[in-house]
Every structure is written in C-alpha cells, then in structure tokens.
Amino acid sequence: MTSSPFDLSGRKAIVTGANTGIGQGIALALAKAGADVALVGRSAAAETEKMVSDTGRKAIQIKADLSSIEPVGDVVAEAVDQLGRVDILVNNAGIIRREDALDFSEEDWDAVVDTNLKSLFFLTQAVGRHMVGWSSQDGDRGKIVNIASMLTFQGGIRVPSYTASKSGVGGLTKLLANEWAPKGINVNAIAPGYIATNNTAALQADETRNRQIMERIPEGRWGDPADIGGAAVFLSSKAADYVQGHILAVDGGWLAR
C-alpha cells in the first residue's frame, strides 16, 4: 500500500519561533503528519513541546536568540545531534516595529532586518549545507519553508523595516529555489493573512479595525494557526516535490479582493 504523499513519517524538522501562534500551529501540524520537531526560539516552548509529544512524535527545545547569526551553527548541530538529521526547516521567527517612515530609527530598522532576513538566510544556508550531503538519496528531498507576509506583496504603513524584510524573504525564496533545486532541495514560502494569535489580539479587540479586516476577507473569518500548519505540511511533503520558489498566500482571499 502506497503511503500518502503528505506523510512526513520519519522526517525531522526545525521550526523557529515555535513557542506560540503560527510557529506552534506549524510544529503541531508537522508532528501530526509524522515528523519529529526541534522547537527553536528565545522563549521556552514547553506548551508546544507537550502538544507535539502528545501526538507520539519527538519534540526537543533549542534555546536560541535569532536577533543575530551567532547561534546558527549551534542550532543546526544540536538538531542533527538529537534528531539524526534535518529534512525540513521552517523559518517562522520574526519581529515587527511600528513607526512613521519619517521617524523610523536605525535601531528599529536593524533589529527587524537582522532577525527577519539576515538570520533567516544564514540559518537556511547552514541547513542547506547539511541537506546537500544527503538530499536526493532514495528520492528524498530537503524542504525549506519560509514565512513571508501579505507585505511581501503589499506596502503596508508604518512598518518600513518589516515590509523590506518580508519583501526580501520573497526574493530570497526564489533565489534559493533557483540555486538549490538541482541539489535536491525545495525552497518555498507561506504568506499568512490575518491569523488569530496573541500577536494580533489588539487588532481583534479593536471593534473598528476588526470589522474593516473582516470586510476585506472573502472567507469572512480570521485565519487559525492550523490553516498555516496545513500549508506547511504540503510544502514539506513529497506532494510538493515539483513546487519551487512559490509564495503561497494563506489569507482567506485577502489578496484576491
């Protein structure tokens, strides 16, 4: 009996920013599909670890502050040591700073770009170097999934460094796909729409903004982290072996409006 092309049994994943929200939803979805997961972040991910373990899959926590590239090598080494290898990398960790472009500071620019783009690239580079050592063996391929944004496509307001970084994530996804497809690695991205998490709690609580957002979404609801998790499972699975350099909007139709 042929297994499902979405089955991730035996696969080993790294998910950054996995302690809550979208990262937690992705880690849980990968585990439910059969993957063991390394949970990387500055904050403890005890809740996510338990959720993953409850599926019967292995979960490990790796503490790392990805505001700089300093921990990148140790993250990959620890994941390989504890899981055996890395088949999947989901780059979810990110931050945002808000201020009018006329008043935006260099500090806020550097903090966001360093975390959202620079660390993402160098962690991906480190995992890519590991993946090229085994990818394409027995048809296996490495899978990189970057978390982009609606602001990969749109400009937004008062978030210049975030928009720049997420636009950069989109471009980098395509570049790495071009270079690494022949090496047996798929590189794609997910652009989440408005997802109901603790990070968007203030928007959900603002009656006016919540109504404006809901009116723009054809699906008529906020997204759930599980919606992003399903997309991550697809892009991490054999079902997406011929998908390269794609930015998958999971937005309830926001961009189509």
* Model pLDDT, residue 135: 75
Query: Tens digits of per-residue pLDDT, 207-236?
Result: 999 999 999 999 999 999 999 999 999 999
* Model pLDDT, residue 1: 47
Domain spans in the chain, listed from the N-terminal domain onward: 12-251
The CATH fold of domain 12-251: Rossmann fold (3.40.50)
- DSSP calls for 147-192: E--GGGTS--SS-HHHHHHHHHHHHHHHHHHHHHGGGTEEEEEEEE
Query: Tens digits of per-residue pLDDT, 125-177?
Result: 999 999 998 876 667 899 999 999 999 999 999 999 999 999 999 999 999 99
Please confirm, yes or no, whether 242 is among the known catalytic residues: no
| Distance (Å, whole) CA 2 – CA 181 | 25
Q: What is the mean pLDDT of the chain?
A: 96
**Phi-psi group of 113: left, alpha or beta (phi > 0 → left; psi -120 to 50 → alpha; rest → beta):** alpha
**Which of 121, 162, 180, 194 is an active site residue?**
162
| Distance (Å, whole) CA 54 – CA 32 | 10
